[in-house]
Amino acid sequence: MSVVTLQVDGRDVAVPARATLLQAIRAAGLSVPTLCHLDGLDPVGACRLCLVEVEGSQRLLPACATEAIEGQRIRTDSSQLQNFRRMAVELFFAEGNHVCAFCVANGNCELQDVAVAVGMDHSRFPYQYPQRSVDASHPRFSLDHNRCILCTRCVRVCDQIEGAHVWDVAERGSHCRIVAGLDQPWGEVDACTSCGKCIDVCPTGALFTKEDATAEKHPHPERAGQLRRAREQHQWTP
Amino acid sequence: MATVWLAGCSGCHMSFLDLDEFLFELADLAEIVYSPVASDTKIYPDQVDVCLVEGAVANVDNLELALTLRQRTALVISFGDCAISANVPGLRNLFSAPGRDSAQTVLERGYLELADATGQLPHAPGIVPELLPRVLPLHEVIPVDLYLPGCPPSAERIRAAIEPLLHGEKPCLSGEAMLRFG
C-alpha cells in the first residue's frame, strides 16, 4: 500500500494513498468540526465546517472531500478559519427554525455540539423564520423541515447503505429541501423499508421517531460506519 | 446588580434562585437594586454594574426597559436562550406575511378568529403594552456585553458567570459547561 506524507499544523503525518485530508488531520491527532461528514457515508463537503487552508492554494478546501497529496502543508485552526466556522454555524441557526427548548434532539444534537465547539454564544445574523412544514405521514417516523440543515446524511445513508434511495434534495437556495420519493408524503413512498437509518444518522431533530418527545431522541450515527465496515471488511464492531 | 424579566417564562430567574446558599454570598458582595425576584423597586436605578436580562424583546414595555437599562448599566448580560435568540417567544415571527406583521396575525387569531361573536382586539393605551411587529433578541435592540445561553442556564453556569464579576474579573464563557443552547 503506497503512503502519502504531509504536514498538518506543522506535524508530519503519513496516511494511505487516496486518504482524505480529514483522515490525515485525525491521524495527526487533531480534529476539525464536522457536520455533514459521517464515517461510513461518501463525503459531500456540504456544511463547510471542515474547511482548511492548504499552502499554495488561494481557496479553502473541505477536508472531508479533498484527497491528501504528497508534501502538502495544511492549517486547520487559523483565526480566519475559526471566524468562518463560527459564521457558518451562526448561519445554520439563522437559516432554519432551531428552537432547542422543545426539540426532540435537545442535548443529543450535533448542531448544538458544533455551536459549542466554535464558541457560538449568539448569532450575529437575524433569524429568518422560514415557512417550512412537518411530514408526519409515515406511521413510525416524522420529518420536521424546520430543523433540517441539509447535510444530506439521510439521502446518502438510504442510498449507500440501505439501498432504498427514498430521499433526495429538491429546489435551490432558501427553498432547498429534502423530499421523499417523487416529492411525495413519506408515508406514501413504497421504497421506504422503515429501517430507521435516516433517523440514526440525522445530526439534528429533523428526523425522529414519533414516540420521542422533547430531548428524548437518542440517535446512533456510528451505525453507518459499522455497517460499512461489516460489508466491506467483514468486521462487526458494534 | 440587577435582573430583568422581559418576554420569557421566568425559568431563567427560577434557575437564578436555584443558586441556593450562594445567594447569601451574593447578597454580601452585591446589592440587588432591581429584580422581579429580589427587589421591590419599580424604576430601574442609575449606575448599575451588572444586569442579567432574561427574555426576548416582544412589546413596547420590553423595548423601553431594554433601552433604559442599557443607559444605566455598565455590563449587560443576555441571560438565557430567549434573550439570545428570541427562542420560544420568537415563534410568533413565523406568522408574518407580506403586509401583515406577526403581532397583527396572532392578535387577530387569538381575539377575533377563535373568539365568540363578542370578540374584540385589546386596546388599552398605557395599560396593556403594544406588541412589536417582530420579537427580537436583546442584542438586536441594545449592545450586549456577555451571553449566557441555556433554557434555562443551570445555576452552576450562572454562578460561574457572575462569581468572577463579583471580584472584578471577566468570566470565561466557553466550552460545554458554559455555552450549550437548550
Q: What is the pLDDT of residues B13-67, one digit of tens each?
A: 999 999 999 999 999 999 999 999 999 999 999 999 999 999 999 999 999 999 9
Q: pLDDT tens digits, residue range A83-130?
A: 999 999 999 999 999 999 999 999 999 999 999 999 999 999 999 999
With contact defined as beta carbons under 8 Å apart, do B133 and B102 qualify? yes
Cross-chain Cβ contact B90/A129 below 8 Å: yes
Verdict on whether the full-model pTM lies above 0.90: yes
Main-chain phi, psi angles of A70, to 5 degrees: -50, 130
Mean pLDDT of A209-219: 96
Optimal mutation site among A89, A104, A116, A146, interface B, most CBs of chain B within 10 A: A116
Which positions in chain A touch B173 (Cβ < 8 Å)? Answer: 121
Answer whether A93's CB lies under 8 Å from B179's CB: no
Contact of A76 with A9, CB cutoff 8 Å: yes
A116 touching chain B per CB within 8 A? yes
Residue of A nearest to B176 (CA): A116
Query: How far apart are the C-alpha atoms of A125 and B117, rounded to whole Å?
Result: 43
State ipTM.
0.93
Report residue A238's pLDDT band, with 50, 70 and 90 as the boundaries.
confident
Count CB-CB contacts under 10 A for residue A237: 9
A163 burial type by CB count under 10 A (0-12 exposed, 13-18 middle, 19+ buried): exposed
C-alpha separations of A57 from A54, A64, A68, A101 in Å:
6, 17, 14, 42
B85, B93, B179: residue with CB nearest A116: B179
Closest alpha carbon to B91 in B82, B99, B100: B82
Chain B residues within 8 A (CB-CB) of chain A? Answer: 78, 81, 84-88, 90-91, 93-94, 96, 137, 139-140, 144, 147-149, 151, 173-176, 179-182
